[in-house]
Amino acid sequence: MAKKKRGRPPGSKNRKNGNVAAMDVGQLRAYIDSLQNVLAKKVSEQRAYFEEQLAQLGGYVSKKASAAIKAVTPANGRSGKRAKAKPKYQSKKNRSLKWSGRGMTPVWMREEMKGTKLKKEDFAIK
């Protein structure tokens, strides 16, 4: 078991340099300068540590990002919309109504098939 340290805990009112209010201007200036030096040293140490961590994390993130981009991008390099599909089916009543076969069955085809023995293959363009 480790020995306990004796004395006041860090941040207690009793300081090494004594009471700040009792110091003269020269002593205060020296005390402030020493505190600024300690603070600058600690800030630079922490900055170096965090920059190192950020550099390691940056490499990790860039690997993950490149993997994600490869997963999203098609292998053949094509992107965007595909070409408009050519019509495969045409209405028997109105020859201007055509359907490519993609998506839901159009209303005109459902209405023409209703009550008849016509099937989707009967509307195929030959």
pLDDT tens-digit readout, 92-119: 999 999 999 999 999 999 999 998 999 9
Structure tokens at 47: 């900055």
In 3D space, the residue among 106, 86, 104 whose CA is nearest the CA of residue 94 turns out to be 106
Same domain, 24 and 59: yes
Phi, psi angle pair for 4, to nearest 5°: -80, 140
Q: What is the pLDDT of residues 57-73, one digit of tens each?
A: 777 766 767 777 777 66
Give the domain extent around 108.
Answer: 89-123
Do the beta carbons of residue 23 and residue 17 sit within 8 Å? yes
Confidence class of residue 20 from pLDDT cuts 50, 70 and 90?
Answer: confident
How many structural domains does the chain have? 2
Do the beta carbons of residue 112 and residue 93 sit within 8 Å? yes
Examine residue 57 and state whether it is found in any structural domain, yes or no: yes
pTM over 0.95: no
Same domain, 34 and 62: yes
Same domain, 68 and 95: no
Same domain, 40 and 68: yes
